[in-house]
Structure 1
Amino acid sequence: MTQKRTVDRPRIDAHEKVLGRALYAADQPIPGLLHAMTVPATIVTGRIEAIDLTAAMNVQGVVRVFTHEDFSQIKTTPASRGAYGQPGKGYQPMTGPVVRHRGEPVVLVVAETLEAAIEGAEAVKVRYADEAFSAAMEDDRAGREPEPESELSTGDAEAAFASANHRIDVEYLHPQQHHNPIELISTTAAFEDGELRIYEGTQAAAAFAGGLAGMMGLDPTQLRGVSPYTGGGFGQKNGIQEQSVLVASAAALLNRPVKLVMPRNQLFHTASYRPRSRHRVRLGADEQGRLLAGLYETVQQNSRYDGFGCEHGANPPRMYGYGSWLGSDRVVRVDTQTPGHQRAPHEHPSSFATECAMDELAEAVGMDPVELRLANDTQNDPITGKPFSSRHLADCLRRGAKLVDWSRRMREPRALVAENGDLIGLGVACGSYKGSMTPAVTRLRLFASGRCEIATSGHEMGQGIRNVIAAELTDVLGIDPENLEIRIGDTGHAPQHLTAGSWGTGSAAPAARSAAMKLREELGLLTGSALSEEPVHVQLARTRRPLLEVTVDTIPLGKDGQAIEQLRRGIPSTTGPEYPEFMAFSWIAHFAEVRVETSTGRVRVRRVVSVVDCGRVMNRRTAQSQVQGGVVWGIGAALREAGETDPRFGGVLNNDLAEYVLPVNADIGAIDVDFIDQPDFKLNISGVKGLGEVAMVGASAAVVNAVYNATGRRVRHLPIRIEDLL
């Protein structure tokens, strides 16, 4: 069966969301609900010496005030150490008197109303014995790891660099950044139908539920993770949050449902974030601009007590045909909460550094930046030698250059001037993101009445995964989406994989299509002939059966049946980008046009053109929205966004949406998106690759390169501030 291309389709859940019927975790109407609020630590490191709860207990409506003495039985298990079950965020506050980072919960107040919980939390008095700390990786007390976290190499890069005709050696600094999805992190715990249900906006309901069960000493079957909708995740909701087990334990101890919605100012100190990082890039090329060597060294901030992998060097060597490569990633430990995945977690910072370095190399060689990238295009991975499953990056560059009218770009900075005197600059940058997949268990039911139900693995974070599932079922079975019920993000309906890493569509689409094809096959056996053009439920009704049900296990390339068993146990099992016979990535080219006021240094991004190779485009409307959102993030990262840590007290100074500066509508000009739309059937039967994360990769670098073209100023840190251009 040939896949149909969906040009444009409304979101299947749009009507429900607009009417407020799509209930998120904190919206669940639960009788007898208690409200909770935490008391954050006001020191960075040290110990709690005493807690005075008298005033808090006297607040009308306060039911119970919990301290570390109430939660000392909470365990840290392998499943609790991040959604991956690997080194990650494993530290759990409030299990002892030790404080390991500023803002961690030290007291939990539970009350009949939210107002009483807040008042009670404000009335708690805590006395500490504080200790010296390091707030940033440049501090003297920061712990520099002696061995690299990761290394990649091919050929003799040092020798090739030394003998290259053209060389650049530059360093770029990327700041600390915070996610700030609109839906705040919340946890609601309630006993329902003999099980403890945890409603939390999460990207990993199964790993989340399994981890909490282990921390609380419960059998995993006693706990159910429910996340029907997630209001933005971007990696921050990958695993167990600092308050999750506290709320669940409080509900168990009180035998009443408890809800906590974490205030945004506290999330800057308790939730994961994008860590600060430094990038040294050395590139060597011959007279024709062919890349002879790439050397890339990074240093990334990490917490003192947990681990977040440093993988900045994984993607850059895959971008172009490097003759040789040498890369290493190191971490520096400081006293903060553990950083984590944030949209294109390492790919965004590394693309900022390497794509800006490519711009500098183009200048050194005397080549156009687009031509330099085209001259170094490749169809094979320089590290493994394997071919790419598909790569249309050159087409992205050519199409984007035409759409933005790249021919008007002047090689000399400050040469293109608008009628009002603004300096005009054009910049280009490229990006890639791994093509990964996960296993899935899917149950599909077709009723003779016309109703259809599907339960499968995946989480809806606004990216449109329900649309993907509906599109595949409609394509294969011709069902009416109005009669379709999609059950995802709930361990009570199907085993749930972690939805992250841009593998959501690449996993859900093949799962839905496989189930639909199996149901079509089973229906054909029942009818005894090939299916007609009549609605499938009408053909089912003729067999005098009320429903037809199929269950399909989808195992991605490079995995076996063990992946399904891991999925059922809540252990994520991903594959890619390296497969037995090829490497798989999505590719993108961004072109930015900026205007810079000469008197004020203010930068306006007038237009961005982004062309993407993400395999088959499932829905142009949601795909375009994904890319536009990624570009907005890239503009914000280039010109606005940075977490400012107070060196005296260790906290984030701008821990709210008033001072953590993000781009607003007036900051965003035109964002034109186009797609190559070539299915990649080597990767899966749906021909899809990831889109959500690659959308951001390279966007900031395109803006930074455009600012250089406009002003002649090379700014090697983010964000670019007005004082950098005056």
Structure 2
Amino acid sequence: MPSFSEIARFDGRNKVLGKTQYGADFHLPGMLHAMLVPATIAKGKLIALDISPALQVQGVVRVLTGKEAPSLKPDIAYLGQTVALVVAETLEAAIEGAEALRPEFEKTPFAPLMTSPGAQREAADGLDVGNAEDALASAAIVIEGRFETPAQHHNPIELLGTVAAWSGETLTIYEGCQNSERVKAALAEALQMAPNLIVIKSESVGGGFGQKSPPKPQTILVVLAAKLTGRPVKLVTPRGQAFHISPHRPRSIHNLRLAADTNGRMTAIFHDVEHENVIGGMFRASGYHEDLARLYSIENFKATAREVYIDRNLTRQTRGTHPFPACFALESAIDELAYLTGKDPVQLRLEHEATRDIIEGKPLAPHQLNECLREGARRFEWNRRRPDPGSMRLDDGTLVGLGVACGIFGASGAAAETTLRVRADGSSKVMGSGHEMGQGISSAIANTLAQTLDINLDRLEIVLGDTSAGPQAATVGEGGTSRIVPVMAKAAQAMRERFAELAGPNPPGGNLHQQLARLKRPYLEVTVSQLAPGQDQSALDEFRKAGGGQARGFPDFSSFSYIAQFVEIHIEPRTGRIRMPRAVSIADIGRVVSPRTAKSQMYGGVVWGFSTALREESEVDPRFAGYLNDDLADYVMAVNADIGSVDVGFVDVPDPMINSVGVKGMGELVMVGTAPAIGNAIYHATGKRIRKLPIRIEDLL
């Protein structure tokens, strides 16, 4: 398939006109408003809750406690855990009612931090390939370092919003989520309902980044409130509460040893990691090595890992997930090795191109990481770099540093099915499977259809995130585009072939809509399905049942997306103030399906990478196990003034093994490698190796 042309954002016009509706935008007749009541202790038990003060507030209709909602447990596991829900005629009354309640608690000791007494440690799965211990013992050079990444919170613009409405025995939920099928399944189990009586509508999501992947604890509460009151109910969780009840990136500590010979040939890695978790948490420490071990050709790799159980809210996948912190450690160590051996940091990486998956013992699908490095170095003008730390300055004394680092993220495939209908009246409709979070999945669908079919894109309806229209796959782990685009391409080709059968050797003129009208055919419809390599009918059955069938590993090969990040850092020598006037980011994501939205994601990755490297940290108050900076004023993030010129690009080469279009994923990848590139640039500017994030001014003074 040839390269895809660029089209405008499919969802752009409605967003600019204010027509896009997110979960909390739905206002239903007779709707009530709700507000959560949080626990004010970190650990213990709820022993008393007098709801009468809330019921005395004018407009309050009902207060839900553990009596009505079994999910409201008396055992408190973290600060902010919901203990009640106040439902009122207005939002103001709901807030006043919630603030009027004074729950009584019995406190027990808690462990707020990894370093706290009582923080329990448990070994997690590791990895041992080759003989890393012998290679490290006999190595001419061993780079050792302890690297830290902080707890950080997702902060999508759309808050956690839920609207629930009952119509007889049928339940409809409007909310922004990344996995509407899982929300549906969780509600069906909790309510003991038939799944076909539950509809989740998540047509547009105002950012997710992993926060909106698991079912929200608030959803079942809103549903029960709507059931008990007989009216629709809306809840929008304030950001300060969301910090304490929604999942976040855990703090992690990486102890890394990197072995090499005197020429800089890397021979072994030992990677030991521990991170924050809660008992029962699904984000596991064993994941940090899985992509890292495949990034370069290094045959000996040993990894050990530990969970450190603390008493705070749930940890979860955050954009970049495991590879982001892990690559900060490895790419910083590789940069240190380059200086020690006198090797150019780009050339050192070029010499370690991986062709084999050392974990699975399978070949890697053809990839373009080295081309990303070469193209990035060319655009960045890497050859102007002077190798010695502190050797580059501006006329006013500003220190200049250039840094490079790479990133990796696993590519995946999955079973999928779609129905496409093209009408003679000029409209079309396609049933998609996934969620539009602003990342551009709808644009990718539209552009895929447009490559094969001459249809009116301005009258194309793409159904996403709506469980009433068909199974909805989770949009996580950069698997959305790679799952949906191949089946869309197959549907477009099937539609073209169906029309050719209908029209015969002499088709009428015009686009497909006009041709159907001239043939007196009101519409044509096709339904097609697709399997990923190595899958069988059972995967398609799983998809049809609940949007499942995801596959990351393939039986005969492994596939990954790659990125090379280049940054220029300026440091004011008296204050240590850091600026990033320039960045170049080049990615290998296979075939680029939607160039415009792909570039947008790349820009976002650089911005978030800068933000995580130099700004973001969730500050924990150990006295209460709560977050001190739980709003957008105090949770410091990058702003426009922080970001200089950003040049992004792609090595637009399809992966011939992963699917018919050759498309891999990119959503998670785009920020991986930015933090070590920035750290490496800071070392080049100052000669100081900073091994923790975020890097602050005080680290440079």
**2:164–2:232: 8 Å Cα contact kept in structure 1?**
yes
* 1:682 paired residue among 657, 660, 673: 657
Match of 2:370 in 1: 394
What SS does structure 1 have at the residue aligned with 2:37? Answer: strand
Gaps of 5+ in 1: 73-91
CA–CA distance in structure 2, aligned partners of residues 47 and 568 of structure 1: 42
Deviations 1:442-469 (A, max 9, x none): 1111112221110121110001111111
Instruction: Deviation per CA, 1:597-619: give whole Å up to 9, x if none.
Output: 11101110111101111111122
Greater mean deviation of Cα atoms: 269-278 or 161-170: 161-170
- 1:486 CA drift (Å): 0.7
Question: 1:538: which partner in 2?
Answer: 514
Name the SS of the counterpart of 1:695 in structure 2.
Answer: helix
Distance 1:709 1:336 in 2: 38
How far apart, CA to CA, are the structure 2 residues paired with 1:524 and 1:510? 21
* Contact 1:437–1:504 (Cα < 8 Å) also in 2: no
Corresponding position of 1:85: none
Aligned residue number for residue 404 of structure 2: 428
Change in Cα spacing, 1:533 to 1:387, as seen in structure 2 (3 Å) is: farther
In structure 2, the residue matched to 1:113 is 90
Q: Which residue of 2 aligns with 1:62?
A: 60
Distance 2:220 2:477 in 1: 25
Report if the CA contact (8 A) 1:428-1:592 is conserved. Answer: yes
Once the two structures are TM-superposed, the CA of residue 317 in structure 1 deviates from its matched residue by 1.1
1:520 equivalent in alignment to 2:496: yes
- Cα gap change, 1:291 to 1:252, in 2 (>3 Å): same
Q: Deviations over 1:304-324 (max 9, x none)?
A: 343322211111111110021
Matches within 5 A, 1:244-643: 244-310=219-285, 311-529=287-505, 534-570=510-546, 572-576=548-552, 578-643=553-618
For residues 531 and 556 of structure 1, the distance between their equivalents in structure 2, rounded to whole angstroms, comes to 35
Deviation, 1:569, is 2.8
1:136 to 89, 107, 113: 113
Distance in 2, Cα, partners of 1:699 & 1:377:
20
Partner residue in 2 for 1:79: none
Q: Report if the CA contact (8 A) 1:438-1:497 is conserved.
A: no
Match of 1:169 among 139, 144, 149: 144
Instruction: Work out whether residues 614 and 693 of structure 2, in 8 Å CA contact, stay in contact via their aligned partners in 1.
Output: yes
Secondary structure, in 3 states, of the residue corresponding to 2:95?
helix
Deviation at 1:686, TM superposition (A): 1.8
How far did residue 494 of structure 1 move?
1.6
Counterpart contact for 1:558–1:579, Cα < 8 Å: yes
* SS in structure 1 at match of 2:646: strand
Aligned residues: 700
Q: Is the 8 Å Cα contact of residues 509 and 515 (structure 2) preserved in structure 1?
A: no
Structure 1 residues 380 and 581: alpha-carbon distance in aligned structure 2, compared to 1, 3 A threshold: same
CA distance in 1, matches of 2:485, 2:173: 27
Q: What is the one-letter code of the residue matched to 1:42?
A: T
> Which amino acid in 1 is paired with 2:162?
T
Q: Which moved more, 1:562-571 or 1:615-624?
A: 562-571
The equivalences for 1:199-210 within 5 A come to: 199-210=174-185
SS in 1 for 2:386: coil
CA–CA distance in structure 1, aligned partners of residues 351 and 264 of structure 2 = 7
For the 8 Å contact 1:393–1:589, the answer to whether it is kept is: yes
Query: 8 Å contact 1:195–1:222 — kept in the other structure?
Result: yes
Match for residue 10 of structure 1 among 8, 23, 37: 8
Task: Check whether the contact 2:567–2:580 (CA below 8 A) recurs between aligned residues.
Answer: yes
After the TM superposition, which of the residue ranges 189-198 and 252-261 deviates more from structure 2? 189-198
Encode CA deviations 1:137-165: one digit per residue, 9 max, x unaligned: 111200100x32x2222210100111111
Alignment partners' CA distance in 2, 1:175 and 1:296:
18
Q: CA deviation at 1:135?
A: 0.3
Q: CA deviation at 1:438?
A: 2.4
Asked whether 1:189 is paired with 2:164, we answer yes
Shift of 1:535: 1.6
SS of structure 2 residue aligned to 1:312:
helix
> Which amino acid counterpart does residue 114 of structure 1 have in structure 2?
L
Note if contact 2:111-2:311 (Cα within 8 Å) is conserved in structure 1: yes
Return the alpha-carbon distance in structure 1 between the equivalents of residues 167 and 414 of structure 2.
30
Once residues 199 and 520 of structure 2 are traced to their aligned partners in structure 1, the CA distance between those partners, rounded to angstroms, is 36
Calculate the TM-score normalised by the size of structure 1. Answer: 0.94
Instruction: Please say if residues 289 and 375 of structure 1, whose CA atoms lie closer than 8 Å, have aligned partners that are also in contact.
Output: no
Deviation of 1:58 (Å) = 0.7
Give the secondary structure class of the aligned counterpart of 1:719.
coil
Q: Distance in 2 between matches of 1:482 and 1:322?
A: 50
- 1:87 aligns with none
Distance across 1 between alignment mates of 2:58 and 2:179 = 37
Q: Deviations over 1:192-218 (max 9, x none)?
A: 485201111001111111111111111
Distance 2:508 2:142 in 1: 65
The structural deviation recorded for 1:542 is 4.2
Q: 2: distance between equivalents of 1:498 and 1:176?
A: 25
Matched-pair contact (CA < 8 Å) for 1:272–1:338: yes
Aligned match of 1:667: 642
Matches of 2:150 and 2:204, distance apart in 1: 30
CA distance in 2, matches of 1:655, 1:360: 36
Distance 1:457 1:200 in 2: 16
CA distance in 2, matches of 1:309, 1:385: 23
Structure 1 distance, partners of 2:346, 2:508, is 51
1:647 CA displacement? 0.7
1:695 aligns with 2:695: no
Q: Which amino acid aligns with 2:253?
A: R
Letter in 2 for 1:474: A
Compute the displacement of 1:533 (Å). Answer: 6.7
TM-score, normalization: structure 2?
0.98
Provide the secondary structure at the position in 1 that maps to 2:36.
strand
Q: Percent identity?
A: 45
SS at match of 1:125: coil
Give 1:534 deviation, angstroms: 3.8
Tell me which of 124, 142, 146 is aligned to 2:101: 124
SS at structure 2 position matched to 1:318 = coil
Query: Deviations for 1:11-52, whole angstroms, at most 9, x for unmatched residues?
Result: 112111111111001001311110000011100111111112
Letter in 2 for 1:714: R
Residue 441 of structure 1 contacts residue 494 of structure 1 at CA under 8 Å; is this kept in 2? no
CA drift at 1:663: 0.7
Q: Structure 1 residue 571: deviation in Å?
A: 5.5
Structure 2 residue matching 1:119: 3-state secondary structure: helix
Alignment of 1:72-91 (within 5 A): 72=70
Letter in 1 for 2:470: A
- Cα offsets for 1:666-704 (capped at 9, x unmatched): 111111101111122321122211111111110111001
Give the SS at the match of 2:327. helix
What RMSD, in angstroms, separates the aligned Cα atoms of the two structures? 1.4
- Asked if 1 retains the 8 angstrom alpha-carbon contact of 2:406 and 2:564, the reply is yes
SS at match of 2:627: coil
Q: Residue 467 of structure 1 aligns to a residue in which SS?
A: helix
The answer to whether the Cα contact below 8 Å between 2:42 and 2:110 also exists between their aligned partners in 1 is yes
Q: Does 1:709 align with 2:684?
A: yes
